[in-house]
Amino acid sequence: MSNRTTPPSTAILAQEQWLFTPGPVCADAIPLIYAFPNTYSVGITSLGFQVVYGLLRKHPGLAVSRLFTDLAESLPREPKLVGFSFSWELDYGNILSLLEQLEIPIWSQQRQVNHPLVFGGGPVLTANPEPYADFFDVILLGDGEDLLENFIQAYRSVQSAPRLEQLLTLAQVPGIYVPGLYEVVYREPTGTIERIQGIHPDVPTTVVKQTYRGNTLAASCIVTPQAAWENIYLVEVVRSCPELCRFCLASYLTLPFRTPSLEGLIPVIEKGLTVTNRLGLLGASVTQHPEFESLLDYLGQSQFDHLRLSIASVRTNTVTEKLARTLAKRDTRSITIAIESGASRLREIVNKKLENDQIWEAAKQAQAGGLKGIKFYGMVGIPGEIPADVAATLELMQQLKKRTPGFRFTLGCSTFVPKAQTPFQWLGVNPQAQQRLKQLQKGLGQVGVEFRPESYQWSVIQALLARGDRRLSSVLERVRHYGDSLGSYKRAFKELKNNLGAWEDYIFTDWNLERVLPWHHLQGPLPRQTLANHLTTAQALMSRNPDQNSEQQI
């Protein structure tokens, strides 16, 4: 993003180019505030936020105002609904601050009849909402395309009813989770969960995530120079990923893998290119769209010579000279590939269907097509990892530098974090990961590969929030006043130690398969037993002697 002076809110909003027509607002429209708990620049770049905003604005029964941490549209004095799009865990503090700004109690149990219902959605809440559950009246689990309409219709039918009746009615809608209608029973104040149960006979035992199965996926409805990526038009080319890497929330949480037809995709792209020349193709595995080659041919036409094209992470074995050449001609200098590790045994454990010769070939094709470099995504602390696996990653990077001289390689590396709704949700963080990040830092510096590690401390916080239960809400409320450091979380844990599980248990401990998980009453795309079966397969591979793996490391 270029350096520029930020204009006032009205001037920022005036720069928006809308690609949709909002619906007429009826006389009895429900006043709704739709918030993104970060700056306007970040929020307006979120495709999820834009899609939901477009759906809300098209609804004639709603009068919608947007709210960000740094600007707001004209807000209603007495909103009936306040919604949050929640995409990044540490934004929870901004949610609480915005509620206070609106003079709404942050705790749902303290809200009265004169307060709006506070609802939320997005990947953070869909995976495991429990650490944040006490801040929300209603949580929408899953894709918004159908779920939002069902939510609004149900609310309109009871908007004049007492608050409890509203919540009980909403709880009957598939995908709508009302945390206050469920009780979490612990074996003891500092112990594990014994059971999670509804406190009313009409509450469903299990709330099931809703999946949109239409053939038309998401695209930007607003283009603006004030976005984090200036004037970009985003198009979702695929949703989910067919590979099912066992740690991957983006894959497991969004199943099944869905793609729009090319016939439907091209008009969507053309619509956005009427207002901008910058196009971003999104998806966990964009190049696995069954008609991607034809899409590449379409975007390679001379009429798009002015186009600035960016593409999300691509699968290694789909990198061709043609792809690289098209991207290079469209102002892209590098591509991003997730390889996880240079060790074939680790990739097999996580179900990453990838061999080292495919990585070398991808680098060769990318360079031949005119790209300047590749950014790899890697990971340390993968379950089953041994020191030799880290050495294999260093060796792979060294070999890549030798085989493709003059080509730039970057390795972005995170620590494995267990995520709810994935097979590895039962596994803890490997505390040796911190040292292995340092090992990679030193080794890659010696071979001329740029290393961009994600903070190990942030990974520890992520794990806490990813596997946390409802008791963590008190921790979060304190931490936002202390600061977002690991020390702040430890300080809050120490102060609340008589009412929490053990720090190590949340983060580092491998959990028993029979354990009642904090999200036990929330059903993702795959049942718990299927996830357990996938874990068992991975553990069988972990238990093998590395020498038994017939494939060479390098």
What is the C-alpha separation between 141 and 210, in angstroms, rounded? 6
pLDDT at 1: 35
Residues 24, 160 share a domain: yes
| pTM (two decimals) | 0.95
State the pLDDT at residue 5: 44
Shared domain check, 250 and 181 = no
Judge if 182 and 242 occupy the same domain: no
CATH number for the domain harbouring residue 151: 3.40.50
Q: Half-sphere exposure of 66 toward its Cβ, with a 13 Å CA cutoff?
A: 21
**Cα-to-chain-centroid distance, residue 430:** 22
Q: What is the pLDDT of residue 297?
A: 96
Domains contained in the chain, number: 2
Q: Let me know whether 516 and 444 are in one domain.
A: yes
pLDDT of residue 484: 84
Q: Let me know if residue 488 belongs to a domain.
A: no
User: Same structural domain for residues 293 and 404?
Assistant: yes
**pLDDT of the residue at 463:** 97
Q: Distance (Å, rounded) from C-alpha 317 to C-alpha 205?
A: 43
Instruction: Enumerate residues 6+ apart whose C-beta is below 8 A from 177.
Output: 129, 138, 139, 140, 141, 171, 207, 522
Split at pLDDT 50, 70, 90, the class of 553 is: very low
Does residue 485 form part of some domain? no
Q: Is 37 in the same domain as 151?
A: yes
Which residue range is the domain that position 444 belongs to?
A: 231-467+511-542
If you average pLDDT over every residue of the chain, what do you get? 95
Q: State pLDDT tens for residues 421-439.
A: 999 999 999 999 999 999 9
**What pLDDT digit, counting tens, does each position of 149-168 carry?**
999 999 999 999 999 999 99
Measured CA to CA, the distance from residue 309 to residue 332 in angstroms comes to 6
What CATH code is carried by the domain that includes residue 273? Answer: 3.80.30.20
The answer to whether position 436 is within a domain reads yes
CB 330 within 8 A of CB 299: yes
Does residue 392 form part of some domain?
Answer: yes
What is the token pair recorded at 460? 């520890």
Quote the pLDDT of residue 385: 97
What does the pLDDT read at residue 219? 97
Q: Give yes or no: residues 138 and 65 share one domain.
A: yes
Is residue 389 over pLDDT 60? Answer: yes
Residue 77 lies in a domain: yes
Across the range 393-400, mean pLDDT stands at 97
| Assigned domain for 235 exists | yes
Do you know the residue count of the chain? 554
Distance CA 254, CA 211 (A): 8
Report the pLDDT averaged over residues 366-374: 98
Secondary-structure breakdown of the chain: helix, strand, coil percentages, each rounded to the nearest 5:
40, 15, 40
Rg (CA), the chain: 24
pLDDT computed for residue 7 by the predictor: 57
AA identity, residue 413: C
Is 85 a domain residue? yes
pLDDT for residue 411 is more than 90: yes
Residue 136 and residue 470: Cα distance in Å, rounded?
12
Q: Give per-residue pLDDT as tens, 235-291.
A: 999 999 999 999 999 999 999 999 999 999 999 999 999 999 999 999 998 999 999
Give the span between the Cα atoms of 535 and 492, in whole angstroms.
33
Shared-domain flag, residues 143 and 289: no
Question: Is residue 547 a part of any domain in this protein?
Answer: no
264: which 2 tokens? 């439907």
Q: What is the mean pLDDT of residues 385-394?
A: 97
Q: Which tens digits make up the pLDDT trace of 163-180?
A: 999 999 999 999 999 999
Is a pLDDT exceeding 90 seen at residue 218? yes
- Using DSSP bridges, classify how beta strands 522-523 and 207-208 pair: parallel, antiparallel or unpaired: parallel
Question: Residue 4 pLDDT more than 50?
Answer: no
The 10s digit of each residue's pLDDT in 70-126 is 999 999 999 999 999 999 999 999 999 999 999 999 999 999 999 999 999 999 999
Question: Are 153 and 298 within one domain?
Answer: no
Phi then psi dihedrals of residue 195, to 5 deg: -165, 160
DSSP state of 219: B
Please check whether residues 148 and 259 belong to one and the same domain: no
Domain boundary among 187, 202, 223: 187
Rounded to an integer, what distance in angstroms lies between the CA atom of residue 319 and that of residue 359? Answer: 9
Of the residues 122, 152, 187, which one is the last residue of a structural domain? Answer: 187
413 with 521, same domain? Answer: yes
DSSP 257-320: PB---HHHHHHHHHHHTTT-SEEEEESTTGGGSTTHHHHHHHHTSGGGTT-EEEE--B-GGG--
- Report how far residue 239's alpha carbon sits from residue 281's, in angstroms, rounded to the nearest whole number: 11
Please, is 381 exposed, middle or buried when counting C-beta atoms within 10 Å of its C-beta (0-12, 13-18, 19+)? buried
Largest CA distance in the chain: 72
Q: What is the per-residue pLDDT across 319-353, written as a single tens digit (0 to 9) for each?
A: 999 999 999 999 999 999 999 999 999 999 999 99
Residues 146, 214: Cα–Cα separation, whole Å: 10
Cα–Cα dist 145/91, whole Å: 23
- In 3D space, the residue among 249, 432, 435 whose CA is nearest the CA of residue 350 turns out to be 249
Say yes or no: 314 and 174 in one domain: no
Model confidence pLDDT, tens digit, residues 30-40? 999 999 999 99
